[in-house]
Amino acid sequence: MMQQRAHILSGEQKPRSQTQRAASELRRMIVSGELPAGSSYLETELAEMLDMSRTPVREATLMLEAQGLLEVRPRRGVKILSISPEDMEEIYQILTELESLAAERVAERSTSPEMLEPLREATQRMEDALARDDREAWAAADEDFHTRLVELSGSARLKSVIANFNDQVRRARALTLYIRPAPTKSNADHRALIAALEKGDAALARKIHREHRIAAKSLMISLLSKHGFHQI
């Protein structure tokens, strides 16, 4: 085999390193369920899948282990971690705290109303999607709202750690998207949050978002238990 591979997909934006490619590719495969929770793979298998040597695969698995997506078990392969309802509760609690902090920071920082435009726009898309009962579009817009909110907090750390935990529960969210009730409350919550942010009322923004996330957690937990999902 040739030692260095030419970049075949010239359409790719960045000729990033193999390690970066392995990390993002494996992350994608894990959060999409392509590599199912609970399954195990040898380094060699992953290297074969990704068409590279073991070295970048090893480096990527160490990064993903630090992110909590998989476990590197010496000589037993890399195991894709599954999520129990208890894990789910933990992660949602953590996300609740961190996103509430983000909302508070946005309220404190937002000087002009235009800054909040991405939030209004995402909320509008959520409402439109809900009106035509397009759940995928709703979920995409909802995720967008949360991402934008966190970005507006101006904290790269907050963004990164929230993204990590979100990746851990993405599978579960996809699973409950069609069995959950219509998310009318979510849209209303977002409007209320935007109003609080416009007023620059940090405490209120925090409170609204916190309750929004706690409700999301309760709903998720009850859906999982109702449908008997013990390991996702």
Q: By the criterion CB under 8 A, which residues form the site for a second copy? A: 17, 19, 55, 58-59, 62-63, 66-68, 74, 87, 90-91, 93-94, 96-98, 100-101, 105, 155, 157-158, 160-161, 165
- The binding track of 60-79 with respect to DNA, each residue x by CB under 7 A or -, is ------------x-xxxxx-
Tokens (6 digits) for 172: 């579960």
**Crossing angle between the packed helical segments 18-31 and 43-50, to the nearest 10 degrees:** 100
Inter-CA distances, 177 with 27, 70, 104, Å? 21, 24, 28
Rounded CA separation 180/178 (Å): 6
Nearer to DNA, 43 or 143 (CB): 43
Nearer to a second copy, 109 or 148 (CB): 109
Nearer to DNA, 30 or 130 (CB): 30
Burial code of 47-62, b = ≥16 C-beta within 10 A, e = fewer? beebebeeebbbbbbe
User: Out of 29, 42, 161, 192, which residue is the one contacting DNA (CB under 7 A)?
Assistant: 42
Nearer to DNA, 23 or 95 (CB): 23
Q: How many angstroms from the chain centroid is the CA of residue 205?
A: 22
**Phi, psi of 71, deg, nearest 5:** -125, 130
Distance in Å, CB of 137 to DNA, minimum: 36
Distance in Å, CB of 190 to DNA, minimum: 40
Residue 8 touches which of a second copy, DNA, none (Cβ within 5-8 Å per kind): none
The total of other beta-carbon atoms located within 10 Å of residue 25's CB is 18
Q: Which residues bind DNA (CB under 7 A)?
A: 1, 3-5, 15, 17-19, 42-44, 52-56, 58, 72, 74-78
